[in-house]
Amino acid sequence: MSNIFIISAPSGCGKTSLVREISRTYDFLELTVSCTTRKMRRGEVDGEDYHFMTAEHFMTKISNGEFIEHESVYDNYYGTTFSSIIDITNTGKDALLEIDYKGMLAIKRIIPNAISIYILPPSLEELKNRLIQRGLDTQEVINNRVSKAENELRYSRFSDFTVINDDYNLALSSLKSLILYKKINQNTDLNRLNRHFESC
Does the pTM surpass 0.85? The reply is no
Q: Which CATH class is domain 4-198?
A: alpha beta
Kindly report, residue by residue over 179-197, the tens digit of the pLDDT. 999 888 765 454 554 554 4
Give the contacts of 186 (CB within 8 A, at least 6 positions apart).
1, 3
Whether residue 96 contacts residue 22, with contact meaning beta carbons closer than 8 Å, is answered with yes
- Using DSSP bridges, classify how beta strands 35-36 and 51-52 pair: parallel, antiparallel or unpaired: parallel
Q: Where are the domains of the chain?
A: 4-198
Whether residue 156 contacts residue 118, with contact meaning beta carbons closer than 8 Å, is answered with yes
- Using DSSP bridges, classify how beta strands 4-8 and 94-98 pair: parallel, antiparallel or unpaired: parallel
Kindly report, residue by residue over 94-152, the tens digit of the pLDDT. 999 999 899 999 999 999 999 999 999 888 888 788 788 877 778 888 888 788 888 88
